Amino acid sequence: MEGSKSSMRRELKFLFAIWKANLQSAMEYHIAFIAQILGMMLNNAFYFLFWVIFFERFKEIRGWGLNDMFLVFGVTATSFGVTAFLFGNAFSLSDVIAQGRLDYYLSMPRPVLLHAVSARSIPSGMGDIIYGITSYLLSGYFSWGGLGRFVVGVILASTAFAAFLIIAHSLTFWLGNAAALARLLMNAILTFALYPITLFNGPAKFLLFTIVPAALMGSVPASLVRELTWQNLGGLFLGAAVLLGLAIVVFRLGLRRYESGSAIQVEV
């Protein structure tokens, strides 16, 4: 027990060291870093104009109004940003696998998956985080208790999202470079997460809780922020845990099939 605790502490220390190095590396080009953050905030704001215009015309969609969209955007953008900023390589894991760049991580005495996905940070993720928090604050659902639930919701939604990306990109172990398929699946989860869940019913809703678990990234954490119920919290926790477990299993199974031409190189 004590041994696993100290091992966990060691891995966390390692993770923080990588994040620190990533941040320092991004800050090296500080103008580009700031431009990416501001650009992403502006990008999200323009995208959100769609909902402003839509609800100006249609007022309400099956019980969802503009304030609900602010909230769902807040949760989704922040979760996306957290994943991009802290686990940026999860977005390009296919290329890492297909180009034999896993060799570098395999040669290190650290957990391969954790090291591989956290080795790169996408600076624009910080723009998503700032935008997401602002969107939540503007939603009209803000309360101190709600803020705590927002943080919990974002942590679980980011976990679910990162796990989904790992599963999608790990298909490369079986299909060759699955980058295009993984991009399609990522677009799917994001697109569905950013629409009112009340639009979907029957098989479509089932899909959003299972194969493309967009509900875990948008509507469920948003419901948790609105109101703490065991169903919301338990469902989100269970969904994130199952996805994470599945991601680890799929990646490990894939790793057994991994082949490369000894491409050990410095990963920068």
Chain contacts with another protein (rule: CB under 8 A): 29, 31-32, 35-36, 38-40, 42-43, 46-47, 49-50, 53-54, 56-58, 60-62, 124, 176, 179-181, 183-184, 187-188, 191-192, 195, 199-200, 204
Q: Convert 33-64 to b/e letters by CB count within 10 Å (16 or more is b).
A: beebbeebbeebeeebeebeeebeeeeebeeb
The Cα–Cα gap between 243 and 170 comes to 13
DSSP 149-205: HHHHHHHHHHHHHHHHHHHHHHTHHHHS--HHHHHHHHHHHHHHHTS-GGG--THHH
Q: How far is the CB of 47 from another protein (least distance, A)?
A: 5
Residue (172 or 232) nearer to another protein, CB: 172
Decide if 164 contacts 181 (C-beta within 8 A). no
- Which residue, 73 or 192, is less far from another protein as judged by CB? 192
Report the nearest approach of another protein to the CB of residue 78 (Å).
18
Q: How far is the CB of 250 from another protein (least distance, A)?
A: 19
CB-nearer residue toward another protein: 1 or 268: 268
What is the spatial distance between Cα 267 and Cα 93, in angstroms, rounded to a whole number? 13
Nearest residue (CB) to another protein, 219 versus 232: 219
Which is nearer to another protein, 35 or 246 (by Cβ)?
35
Instruction: Report the residue number, 133 or 179, with the smaller CB distance to another protein.
Output: 179
243 three-state secondary structure? helix
- Write down the least CB distance from residue 264 to another protein, Å: 25
Shortest reach from residue 203's CB to another protein, in Å: 11
The nearer residue to another protein, 30 or 256, going by C-beta atoms, is 30
Structure tokens, 176: 């060759």
- DSSP assignment letter at 110: S
Give the integer Cα–Cα distance in Å for 216 and 76.
Answer: 9
CB of 190 to another protein, least distance (A): 10
H-helix segments, the chain: 2-28, 30-58, 66-86, 93-98, 102-106, 112-118, 124-138, 144-170, 172-175, 179-193, 203-209, 219-226, 230-257
The minimum distance between CB 24 and another protein, in angstroms, equals: 18
